[in-house]
Chains A and B, each alone.
Chain A
Amino acid sequence: MTLEMFRIDDRLVHGQVVVGWGQPCALGFLVLVDDAVAQSAWEQDLYRMGVPPEMEIIFDTVVTATARLSEYRADCRTGMLITSDIDTMVRLAAALPDIRNVTVGGVHHKPGRIARARYIYLTPEEALRLQALAACGVTVVAQDVPQGAATPLDVLLRGEGPT
């Protein structure tokens, strides 16, 4: 096993991640990539609180995650890397061309965002960034939980994702 899941989820470490994915996939570690969280001990404690003892959580900035990805790839445990927003994942993917799959797990409603699926709302700019990511050869799908279908980006952007 290795770091094999790259997820965009504005709730970061929450029930779907820790339980929904964590148990069936036997996740051994989470890499939370967020420049602000990486600088805040309080924020790290907040996310650490919800992680079971058998799961390690690592906090990185985009820069440190980029430097350590090969280390995560070599880890014998199954891992998931999470960002809270599309921009952070785009920055990571630009620095790390071996990121080939990205799952949009949850981007919820905010003013200016349009519903694309039950759990994904995107501004036109965010949709363009995901399309640009896909144009670089990254497979982008929407999927909140393991039992849910993985919806391809083009289907998602047509508004035909899970409702």
Chain B
Amino acid sequence: MSNGICSTMTSEMTRDIVAGHGGFAEGILSAVEQIAGLSHRFVSLSNAGLEPGAIERLLRDTIAAHGTKVIFTDLPAGSCTQAARRVQRDLPELVLVTGAALPTILAYACGSDIGTAAEKGRAAQIVVEGTRDA
């Protein structure tokens, strides 16, 4: 019982971060909510209108407030990724996943470990070319 309570408290206290350009994070979490009802496990951040130092401060404040363990970002070259890497210098236990898309974040939200979730994201990228019937 106490383990269950403890686990519940931990899951309530800890929220990971989805960060990126424009409304990327908000949109991803909207989809996570629609599919699995698990968006409460995340906080969405946007870099819109923020200079690099402000993005880094926002990340640090959010991590401190929510006990974040994992940050998902959109582009490896993005300013959120760069800010996350700067934060990682002080918090090496923090995990950063770049190029994150819905399949990765959804898999992680549903309980996959981060490596498996990333693999599921890669596996979900399929190019389907149409064919004409002869």
Using a CB–CB cutoff of 8 Å, the interface residues on chain A facing chain B are: 10-11, 13-15, 17-19, 42, 46-47, 49-51, 107-110, 118-119
Counting from the closest, the 6 A-B pairs by CB-CB distance are A50-B77, A108-B51, A18-B77, A11-B79, A15-B75, A14-B79
The reply to whether A15 and B21 contact each other, CB–CB distance below 8 Å, is yes
A19 and B75 contact, Cβ closer than 8 Å, known pairs A14-B82, A50-B81: yes
Distance (Å) between the CB of B109 and the closest chain A CB? 24
B77, A19: Cβ atoms closer than 8 Å: yes
Closest A residue to B50 using CB positions: A108
Q: List 27 A-B contacts (CB under 8 A).
A: A10-B52, A11-B79, A14-B77, A14-B79, A15-B74, A15-B75, A15-B77, A15-B78, A15-B79, A17-B77, A18-B75, A19-B77, A46-B82, A46-B85, A46-B86, A47-B82, A49-B76, A50-B77, A50-B78, A50-B81, A107-B51, A108-B50, A108-B51, A108-B52, A109-B50, A110-B54, A118-B49
Residues in chain A near residue B75, CB distance under 8 A:
14-15, 18-19, 50
Question: In angstroms, how far is the closest chain A Cβ from the Cβ of B95?
Answer: 15
Across-interface contacts of B89 in A (CB, < 8 A): 42
Residues of chain B touching chain A, judged by Cβ–Cβ distance below 8 Å, are 21, 49-54, 74-79, 81-82, 85-86, 89
B92 nearest CB across to chain A (Å): 13
Residue of B nearest to A107 (CB): B51
Interchain CA distance A110-B75 in the complex, whole Å: 24
In the complex, A119 Cα to B74 Cα: how many Å?
A: 20
A46 to B82, CA, bound (A): 7
Q: How long is the Cα–Cα vector from A11 to B54 in the complex, in angstroms?
A: 11
Q: Which residue of A lies closest to B78 (CB)?
A: A15
Inter-chain CA distance A10–B49, complex, in Å, is: 11
Interchain CA distance A107-B49 in the complex, whole Å? 9
For the complex, give the distance between the alpha carbons of A107 and B76 in Å: 21
A11 and B52 in contact (CB under 8 A), knowing A17-B77, A19-B77? yes
* New A-B pairs, 11, CB < 8 Å, besides A46-B86, A110-B53: A10-B52, A11-B51, A11-B82, A15-B21, A15-B74, A15-B75, A18-B75, A46-B85, A49-B85, A50-B81, A108-B52
A19 to B74 CA separation, bound complex (whole angstroms): 12
The residue that A10 contacts in the complex, of B51, B76, B77, B78, with Cβ under 8 A, is B51
Interchain nearest-CB distance for B11 vs A (Å): 31
Closest to A115 in B: B49
Question: How far does the alpha carbon of A10 sit from the alpha carbon of B42 in the complex, in Å?
Answer: 28
Most buried by B among A17, A49, A110: A49
Measured CA separation A17–B86 after assembly (Å): 20
**Which residues of chain A have C-beta atoms less than 8 A from B54's C-beta?**
108-110
Shortest Cβ distance from residue A7 to the other chain B in the assembled complex, whole angstroms = 14
